[in-house]
Amino acid sequence: MKLILFGPPGAGKGTQAKLLIEKLKLPHISTGDILRSEVKNNTGLGKQAKGFMDAGKLVPDALVTEMVRKRMQEPDLKNGFILDGYPRTEAQAKALDDILKGGIDKAIYLSTSERVVVQRLTGRRVCPKCGTNYHLTNMPPKKDMLCDKCQVGLFQRPDDNEATVKNRLSVYLKECSAVLDFYKKQGKLEDVSGDLDSGEVFKIISEKILAL
Ligand code: ADP
Ligand code: ADP
Ligand code: ZN
């Protein structure tokens, strides 16, 4: 199954992807995670991407698409994947169809209000080891700011500050309707409210949309 999770920053794409991979046993591909690791390792791609990411802007389509094209060639994806954070523009959606030949199976859209998004992003904390997302009040870890699984200290992403969050939201709003229309026309768009609590969102995705 080839699934896409789409929605504004903070909608809960990463959180739902982590829940879905346990159930579906499919690899999770997050373009944001791959880009952050390229930046951390100071690779050529990382150096090119960093400025855009720090400003809350999109990394140019050509760079991200090349990265996705390479990832899609790896053998672990033969039964499908859960893709989170890509495509973000119509050009990326077209490029993905081109890479995959038969296209994707479903694009799950987590429609989420701006108020919720800002609250979630400013309170988000991330495990540097396994990438699990926590939240200061919505989903705190069991022990003081340590990942439940890895027992290492959580950190705040540098782009989760208020100014960059606003920028990311406006970038998202500018591009999102074209991506939604693209999948709506293909009859592959599934709409879920991302404002609901994560258990409810997961239940709707797994029972209503995927019939698992
Ligand atoms: P969030 O879901 O919180 O917005 P991501 O982790 O998906 O964050 O992405 C973080 C940053 O990485 C984005 O703000 C953007 O700069 C870059 N990025 C990730 N995916 C893409 C993409 N498909 N196209 C362009 N830039 C991307
Ligand atoms: P995205 O990948 O779409 O940017 P995340 O999955 O990282 O979003 O979620 C953003 C923040 O909101 C995280 O701190 C996460 O713990 C929290 N969160 C995710 N889903 C929900 C939800 N349904 N209700 C409340 N908080 C949530
Ligand atoms: Zn962890």
Q: What is the C-alpha to C-alpha distance for residues 205 and 116, in angstroms, rounded to an integer? A: 20
Report the relative pairing of strands 124-126 and 106-111 from DSSP bridges. unpaired
Phi–psi pair at 185, nearest 5 degrees = -60, -30
Q: Residue 162: its pLDDT value, please?
A: 87
- Helix axes 44-55 and 61-72, enclosed angle (nearest 10): 130
13 lines ligand 2 (CB under 6 A): yes
End-to-end CA distance of the chain: 12
Q: Is the peptide bond before 87 cis (omega within 30 degrees of 0)?
A: yes
Query: Which atom of ligand 2 lies nearest, measured to the CA of 30?
Result: 2
Q: 44 Cβ partners below 8 Å, 6+ apart?
A: none
Query: Which atom of ligand 1 lies nearest, measured to the CA of 171?
Result: 14
Pair of tokens at residue 2: 């080839």
Q: Residue 10: its pLDDT value, please?
A: 96
Q: CA torsion angle for 198, 200, 206, 208 (degrees, to 10)?
A: -140
With 0-12 CB in 10 A as exposed, 13-18 as middle and 19+ as buried, what is 183? buried
198 lines ligand 2 (CB under 6 A): yes
The catalytic site residues sit at 13, 88, 124, 157, 168
Pair of tokens at residue 136: 């200061």
> Which superfamily does 2-113+162-210 belong to?
P-loop containing nucleotide triphosphate hydrolases (3.40.50.300)
Output the tens digit of pLDDT for each of the chain's 212 residues: 999 999 999 999 999 999 999 999 999 999 999 999 999 999 999 999 999 999 999 999 999 999 999 999 999 999 999 999 999 999 999 999 999 988 999 999 999 999 999 999 999 999 999 999 999 999 999 999 999 999 999 999 999 998 899 999 999 999 999 999 999 999 999 999 999 999 999 999 999 999 98
Residue 100 near residue 2, CB atoms below 8 Å: yes
Q: Residue 212: its pLDDT value, please?
A: 86
- Strand (E) or helix (H) holding 191: strand 189-193
Which residue's CA lies nearest to atom 19 of ligand 1?
32
Q: What is the C-alpha to C-alpha distance for residues 110 and 152, in angstroms, rounded to an integer? A: 30
Domain regions of the chain by residue span: 2-113+162-210, 124-159
